[in-house]
Amino acid sequence: MTRFDADQDTSPQRGSPLDFAVGELSRLTLTTVQRAVERGDGVLAFQPVVQSSRPDQPAFHEGLIRIIDDTGRFVPLRDFMWHAETTELGRKIDCLALALGLRALAEEPGLRLSINMSARSIGYPQWLETMRRGIGADDSLAERLILEITESSAMGMADLVIQFMRELQGRGVSFALDDFGAGYTSFRYLRDFSFDMIKIDGQFIRAISDQPDNQVLARALQSIAHHFDMFTVAEQVETADDAAYLIDMGIDCLQGFYFGAPTINPPWRAPHSSARR
């Protein structure tokens, strides 16, 4: 059916009532998120990333964006992020996350914080202006900021990411390649990238203590990272057995519910609750 045929089509709505209801809910959710982001109604949920050599000591925290709807409730990321990632809404969410992260760094001089962004936000004027204002006001903020770029978006525009990273690393900002091993990496580009750390995707970490396949794959990813002088972070560490295995394996840092769930209450204000001893 051509576009013109579709314009003239007066037949009833195709698809099941459930399909229609799901589509309508998605549209309503995106509208809600759009309004919330325009108002700046978001917070960061902080999750500790701990050192393997000192599991009771966070190396840094990851700040995960949470969007608040008109009723004061969090909108589940799974309900909108898949769509927002490729639209301007995703760029605005990245701006909000960065602004909140820079504010947290300014309020807590001892904090080191990672913030997620899509490579698609590189060159977005509002994001660049948010970064310029933030690190321009306090040089130390850049040295305590880590930007996490997902593997999928980084590999989609590798040349742009490489130049962008070089410029900000010159100001002191660090970079992490998120979800490493999820299936997108071109090792030719990985050689050219200068990521400071690599976060191994949780699918290779969950149940690693008794999953031989995950053990082999995680070790291979760790070996690649260390070859390029990049720190390694194991994501989604959920049990004591998995943590012990990863520490013995030589992973540099660990992140997951075993060490602390994301919380909107800044953990550094209650340090004994942010990680298990």
Per-residue pLDDT of 153-211, as tens digits, reads 888 888 899 999 999 999 999 999 998 887 666 677 777 888 999 999 999 999 999 99
Domain span including residue 230: 13-273
Residue 207 in domain: yes
| Cα dihedral sign, 139-144-148-149 | positive
What is the structure's pLDDT at 23? Answer: 52
Note whether 181 and 214 are within 8 A (CB).
Answer: no
255 neighbors 233 (Cβ within 8 angstroms):
yes
The answer to whether residue 36 sits within a structural domain is yes
CA–CA separation, 261 vs 275, rounded Å?
Answer: 9
User: Considering the domain boundaries, does residue 4 fall inside one?
Assistant: no
Q: What's the pLDDT at 26?
A: 65
CATH number at residue 41: 3.20.20.450
What pLDDT sits at residue 17?
Answer: 52
Q: Is residue 61 part of a domain?
A: yes
Domains in the chain, number: 1
Residue 137 lies in a domain: yes
H runs (alpha helix) in 40-157:
81-84, 88-107, 125-137, 139-143, 151-156
Sequence-distant (≥ 6) Cβ neighbours of residue 147 within 8 angstroms: 114, 115, 117, 168, 173, 174, 175, 176
Q: What is the pLDDT of residue 183?
A: 66
pTM of the model: 0.86
Strands 197-200 and 231-234: what pairing? parallel
The pLDDT value recorded for residue 32 is: 93
Work out the end-to-end distance of the chain between its first and last CA atoms, rounded to an integer number of angstroms.
63
Angstrom distance (rounded) from CA 176 to CA 49: 13
Residue 3 lies in a domain: no
Task: Report if residue 2 sits inside a domain.
Answer: no
Residue ranges in the chain modelled with pLDDT below 50:
1-13, 18, 20-22, 24, 273-277
In a domain, 6, yes or no: no
Structure tokens at 34: 């759009």
